[in-house]
Amino acid sequence: MASTFSTFPTFRFIRGVSPQSRTFVPAAFAAGAAANTPGARPAVPVPGGPSTGAGLPGFHAPPAVPSYASGTTAGGPVRMQPARMPFYVATHGTTTIYLLGTLHVGDPADYPPNQPFRQSILAALNASPTLALELSPDDLLVSQDDVSKYGVCERPCLPQLLSDSLWQKLAARMRGNPDALAEIRRMRPWLASLLVETYDSLSAGLQTEYGTEAQLQNVFLRLKGRRIVGLETLGEQMRAFTSLTLAQQREMLAQDLAQPEAQNVADVKALQHLWRVGDADAIAAWDTARSEKLARDKRVSDSVDNRIVYERNRRFVARMLQIAAPNKPLFVAIGALHLGGPKGVLALLRQRGFTVDPA
C-alpha cells in the first residue's frame, strides 16, 4: 500500500493536514497525496492544529534540532542546495509537460530561502503558463467539510468496524494519548489510518507548510498571467477513499500498525531521502517492497493501491493531455509515488508516445 504523504494532498493532517485538536483543518495547499507515507495518498484534512503537530491531541514533538533553513549555523553561514527531487520532462512534438514528484509535507532545509528549487525546476516554472496539482487550491480549501462528512461518524463507530485484535493494537499505539483515542473512535478506518500516518510524519519532524506544493505556489504565484488547476476534483479524490470496502480500509490500518512506530518513522525518513535523491523508479521500487513486507492480505493490499494510486494515475494523465497545448508548456506537480514504476505516470506518458527524460 502506497505512502499517503506523497500521494494525497487532501488528507494532510500532515500528510496533508494541519493538526488543530478537535477540528478538521484543510492542509495548507496540500495538493496530491495517495498511499502510506508523504508521497502518494491525497492530502485530506484530519483532526488538526499547527503544522508542527503542536495542536494534535497528546502529541509531543521530537526534540528540536538545528534548522539550516536560515542559511546560518552557530559557526556562521553555510552553503545550502535545494533537494534534487524527482523532476522529468515529457515531450511529444511541440507539446511539453514538466513533471515534479512532491512530498505533501517536508523539511525546511530542503527549500533554502534564497533558492528553494534547482535552476532547471525554476526555469520550467517560469516557462509554464499553467501549474497542475492533484487538487486545485479552491477544492483543497473546502475539503475539510467532505472529510468530516464522509470520514467521521456521529457516534463512536471505529471499535465496531474493526476486529477486536486490530482495535486493541490501535488503542495500544495511542496509549498515553487519550484525547487522540477519543477522536479516533469516531473515524472510519480509512481516516483512522491517515491519522496514524500523520503522527508518524510529525514524529519524523516534517511540517505541512514545507510540502512541495506550498513551496511551488510561493514561487509560481509571483509570476504574472499564470493559473493553477487540479488534475482531479475533490469529489473524485474523496471517492478514492469512500468507495473502499471495509476489508480494504482494515488492510490500510493494519499495515500502519504492522510494525513499531519507530520503524514507521524510519520509513518516512527513508522515503524522504529517496525523494531528495530524485529517482522516481527507485521510490516506486522501495514502496513496492515495503507494501509486500507489511501486507496482511496481498490481494486486498494490491486492490487498495489500484484504487488510490493507479486509477488516479490514469486520470492524471488523461487530464494532463486535455490541458497540455503545443508551445505552451504545462508544469505538473503530483505525489512522488505517482511517477515511477510500470504503472506510474511516466510510463503511461511513454505509452502515449511521449519521450520522458530526467531534467
- Cα separation of 68 and 84, whole Å? 17
pLDDT at 7: 67
**For the CA atoms of 53, 192, 288, 331, what is the dihedral angle to 10 degrees?**
-60
Is 107 within a domain? Answer: yes
Q: Where are the beta strands (DSSP E) in the chain?
A: 5-6, 20-24, 38-39, 47-48, 72-73, 76-77, 87-92, 95-102, 130-133, 227-230, 330-335, 355-358
The sign of the CA dihedral 295, 301, 306, 312 is negative
**Per-residue pLDDT reduced to its tens digit, 210-237:** 999 999 999 999 999 999 999 999 999 9
Is 347 within a domain? Answer: yes
pLDDT at 259: 96
Is 120 within a domain? Answer: yes
Is 147 within a domain? Answer: yes
pLDDT at 65: 41
- Cα separation of 336 and 40, whole Å? 7
DSSP 37: S
Cell reading at 317: 494523465
Residues paired with 44 in a beta bridge:
none
pLDDT at 31: 29
Is 71 within a domain? Answer: no
Is 72 within a domain? Answer: no
- Cα separation of 162 and 166, whole Å? 6
10-residue mean pLDDT profile of the chain (359 residues): values are 65 35 30 41 50 46 42 47 96 98 94 94 97 94 88 96 97 90 95 92 91 94 94 95 97 97 96 97 97 97 96 98 97 98 98 97
What domain range includes position 290? Answer: 5-60+83-358
CA of 279: how far to CAs of 7, 79, 186, 272, 348, in Å?
16, 24, 39, 12, 17
pTM for the structure as a whole = 0.84
Residue type, 44: V
Length of the chain (residues): 359
The sign of the CA dihedral 178, 2, 314, 352 is positive
Residues paired with 356 in a beta bridge:
90
- Cα separation of 228 and 234, whole Å? 15
Phi then psi for residue 297, to 5 deg, are -135, 105
Is 68 within a domain? Answer: no
Domain count for the chain: 1
Residues paired with 77 in a beta bridge:
72
Cell reading at 140: 483543497
Distance, first Cα to last Cα, the chain: 28
pLDDT at 204: 94
Is 317 within a domain? Answer: yes
Q: Identify which of 137, 276, 272 has the alpha carbon closest to the alpha carbon of residue 216.
A: 137
